[in-house]
Amino acid sequence: MNRKHRTHRMAVSAPLYTFTLFWLIVLLNTECLRGSQVCDRGEVLGRNYLLYDLNPAEGFNLRRDVFIRIAVFVKKLQQHGDWVLVLPPWGPLPHWKSKDIGDQLKLPWKNFFDTESLMKYVSIMELSDLLSEKKKTLLINQLFYLQHFPDGWENGKWEEKYKFENCIHKPPYRETKDGAMKGWFWGYDKIQVRNVSCVSFQGHVNKLLPILLEHSKISGNVIMIDRGEIPLHDDYGGVDYWKVRRSMRYSFKLYFLASQFRLEFLQSDDESDLTSLPSDWRDETAEVAAKGGDYVCGHLRRQDFLYGRSSDIPSLKLAAKKLEKTAMLLNLEKIFVASDGTKQEMEKLKSYLSPKYQLYLYQPSFEIRRDILDGGVAIVEQIICSRARHFIGSFESTFSFRIQEEREILGFPSNSTFNRFCADDNDSCEQPAKWKKIM
């Protein structure tokens, strides 16, 4: 078609074009109002967004576990419509204590995880991306603030149940002078909520299904669950649990830093340690063939565990003896320790090791710490431990659990993974259950 001809055609169809555009805009706006939320450009009609949050006291690794529960749940919701799981930003967290590396809040998941990999299980979206789609306020149409039943075990019997009730404790949402409901919302000012309901809840997460489906129809398509740690896993340790867990690959940068450290200090790399995985978690196999690097790893949880779980935590002297004995049995001389302990504690630990054994800690430069923050440092340590010949964890630490899962995914024999430090007065304590992956 020549230029002249094309200009002519456009001139003829312009009124028709304007007319269609007018009605399209009217129609879109009507739909947006019907969806009863602020309707900005680019919104996919009929799409539902699920936001969630947890009790602020929960640490990073329990939060990862709750993500698994919610991701499996959203996968179920998707059988009923177009649902997207909105990832709650990270921070501030009680264990992220470094004061010299700036604020540690509003951190996107992509800082820690490969979000493309997460996406291969269920549709996810960073909260910051949803917010940048909104010119004005993000209005959450309905927020369910979950709470435990005051009388959970009625007549000594546990049963699944939920009930819309008065709030037992005042939820952290308040009405402002202009009538809007506001809350912490990860430090974002432009998020508001229309309605907050307290729901006493006891049961598996799929028990939330009817509540969410019903409310998304009535009140709109942005829904939030707070205290998301209250519902239980639908199928703890089942196929979907492991699918989501396997999809939680770390960010490229964190793998890179861990590889660099392993190579430089531990002479360890995935190829010789037989710890390579396919680039897509969906191509993994159930093979148990990992060997691990020539080092033992111990996770020594200190800080709050020294008080809360003192009867399950070893003294540094006992921990050193256990690490040394394990290294000796495996004919290894390198010991890597991941810990939230202080510098002094680590020096003490080192002083208890005989000179034959070398202690390694991950102590990145200020520039790296400022870049990957406390959360990134912790993950690098987890990656290093997950590739050791042998791992010893801390009792009931979710930090240790995540390392054990990673080792299952990598295909380590169970006896090299499911081990824990005992307390001083109980040297033959029960070892952790073998938490086998199911594919």
Q: Please give the residue ranges that form the binding site for ligand GDP (CB under 6 A).
A: 59-62, 95-96, 299, 301, 338-340, 374, 377-378, 381, 397-399
Consecutive H or E run containing 409: helix 398-410
Say how far apart CA 421 and CA 322 lie, in whole Å.
8
Closest separation in Å from C-beta 299 to Mg ion: 13
Q: Which is nearer to ligand GDP, 91 or 203 (CB)?
A: 91
Say how far apart CA 5 and CA 367 lie, in whole Å.
62
Binding partner of 60, given ligand GDP, Mg ion, none, CB within 5-8 angstroms per partner class: ligand GDP
Binding partner of 299, given Mg ion, ligand GDP, none, CB within 5-8 angstroms per partner class: ligand GDP
Closest separation in Å from C-beta 124 to Mg ion: 23
Say how far apart CA 51 and CA 333 lie, in whole Å.
47
Say how far apart CA 285 and CA 153 lie, in whole Å.
41
Closest separation in Å from C-beta 374 to Mg ion: 14
Q: Which is nearer to ligand GDP, 211 or 377 (CB)?
A: 377
Closest separation in Å from C-beta 381 to Mg ion: 16
Which window, 6-14, 58-66, 216-224, 285-293, contacts Mg ion (CB under 5 A)? Answer: 58-66
8 A C-beta contact, residue 137 and residue 190: yes
Q: Which is nearer to Mg ion, 240 or 374 (CB)?
A: 374
Q: Within a 10 A sphere around the Cβ of 121, how many other Cβ atoms?
A: 22
Binding partner of 381, given ligand GDP, Mg ion, none, CB within 5-8 angstroms per partner class: ligand GDP
8 A C-beta contact, residue 385 and residue 289: no
Q: Where are the alpha helices (DSSP H) in 262-338?
A: 270-273, 304-308, 316-329
Closest separation in Å from C-beta 62 to Mg ion: 5
Residue with token string 């005051």:
150
8 A C-beta contact, residue 106 and residue 187: yes
Tokens representing 43 are: 């919104």
Nearest residue relative to Mg ion (C-beta): 59
Q: For Mg ion, which residue of 59, 92, 172, 432 counts as binding (CB under 5 A)?
A: 59
Q: Within a 10 A sphere around the Cβ of 224, how many other Cβ atoms?
A: 23
Which window, 53-61, 144-152, 194-202, 234-242, contacts Mg ion (CB under 5 A)? Answer: 53-61
Cite the active site residues: 58
**Residues near Mg ion, by CB under 5 A:** 59
